[in-house]
Structure 1
Amino acid sequence: MTGHELPLVIEGGGTRITDRVRGDRQQIRKSLTVHGAVLFRDFEVGGVDGFDEVVRELSGAPLTYEERSSPRSVIKGNVYTSTDYPPQEEIFLHNENSYQAVWPMVLYFYCLEPPSTQGATPLASTRAVHDTMDPQVREEFERRGWMVVRNYGDELGMSWRQVFNTDSRDEVTDYCRRNGVETEWLDGDRLRTRAVRRAVHHHPVTGAPVWFNHATFFHISTLPEGVRLGLLEMCGEENLPSNTYYGDGGTIPDDVTDHLRERYRAASVRFDYRRDDLLVVDNMLASHGREPFTGPRKIAVAMAEPSSA
């Protein structure tokens, strides 16, 4: 493929993927920066152990999933399942952990078992989203930033113990302080956090501006209508598991979030998984999501290369 089309597809003809990665590592990394994602197809991967080896060859040791926003299960070491959400639900396009001060620069997806129908990992260029959105919308976010507010409890959403991988309130408070997250401990062993982040970043290699944030993904309006209305009735806006605002706390208008979702979808591309497909994504250049699916879909995921750009 040419230009910035994604993903770039590299076909192996049944050869071992580790041999290809070792021999062409520099060119693969260049292609990842140009295209935003590279799909290895028809290679002998060698299961989860081979997948882990590819991650280490291209990026070094995979990362622990910290400050979680979705449930995952460990497959082996720091290789996880993709998000454990019901198969009938869509997961909207987003950039992994873009709400954090430090995020993984490279993501890896490995198809252990393809779905029967749909179940793709759609991709959207963050350069295209940035460049095609209404300049006034973009400039408003650049001026004000964006804020994520999260509530952690055992009854709804994820508990703070799950998210921060600890039973210690002091450890959570210290982590949040070091990472620019405001904490508010509430009755009933609940925690509320607020973090203000930039909406537009510059890629550390290309220098290109990219739309890199969770402002749309975490916004209450992105949820299906029935879920959205049920949560608002149950919790009220203040106690939602997550929601987003402008960085000064101002409400993001519905027409703005509608426009942002439309820009993501306009930029998105998809492919049907085949067994042993291995997808590598530059997390700052391409957002990703998940289609609803039927069948046994099992995708292994790893994250690597911590970065603050």
Structure 2
Amino acid sequence: MTAIEETTAVAYTAEPGTSVHDHIREHRDKLRTVLGERGAILLRGFEVGGVDGFDAVVRGFSGSAPLTYAERSSPRSTIKGQVYTSTDYPADEEIFLHNENSYQAVWPNTLYFYCIEPALTQGATPLADIREVRRAIDPEVREEFVRRGGWQVVRNFHADFGVPWQEAFNTTDRDAVVEYCRTKGITAAWRSDGGLRTTAIRPVVHTHPGSGEEVWFNHATFWHVTSLAPEVQEGLREIFDDEDLPTNTYYGDGGRIPDETVAHLRAAYRSATTRFDWQRDDILIVDNMLAAHGREPFTGPRKIAVAMAEVYDPAA
């Protein structure tokens, strides 16, 4: 076992021909312990068996089937079953660090990434220890969020723009959407253009279910309009008023988060960020409540498969 230079993940490098499934069966307890300490594990050089083998890794390591991608926020394509492509954004765009589904009432606790085809240049999945992110944030900034009720996300699903509500909620039934939102602490309002506006208020800090540590687990930075590339921000604001943006974040009481506060939060994530270059058949396992992930811009045919497992409900 060796740690790859400049990354949070602990790397396990296999002898040629070693089955990843055999390795997980033999070392699962140790691997899970390391995952809970470090937040990410990289399995490199193993025989995987393609997408079917990747699906089997999820089942073997988590002891359950991959989860369906629900309450979607980004475009993905299904590869097979509950194995998806990573976010289908243009190759020249960065995807900022975030914790998967931290805007939801429940979320997957374990994430899996599988390198089918690496990029020619860049294309890493950077990681950031969100315990370190929390420590890097000015205590007054953290306390302001807590004092004002956490953070709020407003999503506007516009007809003919972005991810449609039908895809986000995996249904065409409006009543089913409203019922889903009611059970998940989301306020849903239908727009006059046939779209949907949802509002949810969530905590900024959660307690890790294994270690009991406090972690900065939220989408407040990722979904704030100023975290978009400047040209994307300008384009969206030419089309929409701020209250109608596809996504934007606020304090829990609905107040505006100052741009300089969000810039400070972005700097805290970047200060904790590490990276590695993908190699074909790499498998990255991430504790979603210990490590945030993102995506570098890239050139070439990069194809990374993604799966999620072990749903976590803090209310339970």
Which of the five TM-score ranges fits, normalised by the shorter chain? over 0.9
**Correspondence 1:73-152 to 2 at 5 A:** 73-144=77-148, 145-152=150-157
- The AA in structure 2 aligned to 1:143 is R
User: Residues of 2 paired with 1:18 and 1:201: CA distance?
Assistant: 32
1:117 Cα deviation after fit: 0.3
User: Residues of 2 paired with 1:142 and 1:36: CA distance?
Assistant: 25
User: Residues of 2 paired with 1:34 and 1:166: CA distance?
Assistant: 38
- The AA in structure 2 aligned to 1:65 is Y
Deviation track 1:14-59 (CA, whole Å, cap 9, x = no partner) reads 2000000011111110000000000000111110011000100111
1:22 aligned onto 2:52: no
1:294 aligned onto 2:299: yes
For residue 73 of structure 2, give the secondary structure of its aligned residue in structure 1. Answer: coil
Task: Give the structure 2 partner of residue 51 of structure 1.
Answer: 54
User: Residues of 1 paired with 2:123 and 2:193: CA distance?
Assistant: 38
1:152 Cα deviation after fit: 0.4
**Are the aligned partners of 2:137 and 2:265 in contact in 1 as well (CA < 8 Å)?**
yes
Q: Which runs of 5+ in 2 are unaligned?
A: none
For residue 105 of structure 1, give the secondary structure of its aligned residue in structure 2. Answer: strand
**Correspondence 1:1-309 to 2 at 5 A:** 6-14=8-16, 15-59=18-62, 60-144=64-148, 145-309=150-314
1:115 Cα deviation after fit: 0.4
1:227 Cα deviation after fit: 0.9
For residue 24 of structure 1, give the secondary structure of its aligned residue in structure 2. Answer: helix
**Are the aligned partners of 2:129 and 2:290 in contact in 1 as well (CA < 8 Å)?**
yes
Instruction: Count residues with an aligned counterpart.
Output: 308
**Are the aligned partners of 2:159 and 2:193 in contact in 1 as well (CA < 8 Å)?**
no
Q: Which runs of 4+ in 1 moved over 3 A?
A: none
User: Residues of 1 paired with 2:26 and 2:72: CA distance?
Assistant: 35
1:202 Cα deviation after fit: 0.6
- The AA in structure 2 aligned to 1:16 is S
User: Residues of 2 paired with 1:76 and 1:189: CA distance?
Assistant: 31
For residue 201 of structure 2, give the secondary structure of its aligned residue in structure 1. Answer: strand
Deviation track 1:234-276 (CA, whole Å, cap 9, x = no partner) reads 1110110000000000000011100000010110000000000
- The AA in structure 2 aligned to 1:41 is R
Task: Give the TM-score, by structure 1 length.
Answer: 0.98
User: Residues of 1 paired with 2:304 and 2:245: CA distance?
Assistant: 29
- The AA in structure 2 aligned to 1:168 is D
RMSD: 1.1
1:143 Cα deviation after fit: 2.3
**Are the aligned partners of 2:131 and 2:214 in contact in 1 as well (CA < 8 Å)?**
yes
- The AA in structure 2 aligned to 1:174 is E
User: Residues of 1 paired with 2:24 and 2:68: CA distance?
Assistant: 23
User: Residues of 2 paired with 1:26 and 1:56: CA distance?
Assistant: 14
User: Residues of 2 paired with 1:222 and 1:128: CA distance?
Assistant: 20
Q: Which runs of 5+ in 1 are unaligned?
A: none
Task: Give the TM-score, by structure 2 length.
Answer: 0.96
User: Residues of 1 paired with 2:131 and 2:231: CA distance?
Assistant: 32
User: Residues of 2 paired with 1:153 and 1:228: CA distance?
Assistant: 17
1:285 Cα deviation after fit: 0.1
Greater CA deviation, 267-276 or 6-15?
6-15
Identity %: 60
1:142 Cα deviation after fit: 2.0
1:226 Cα deviation after fit: 1.1
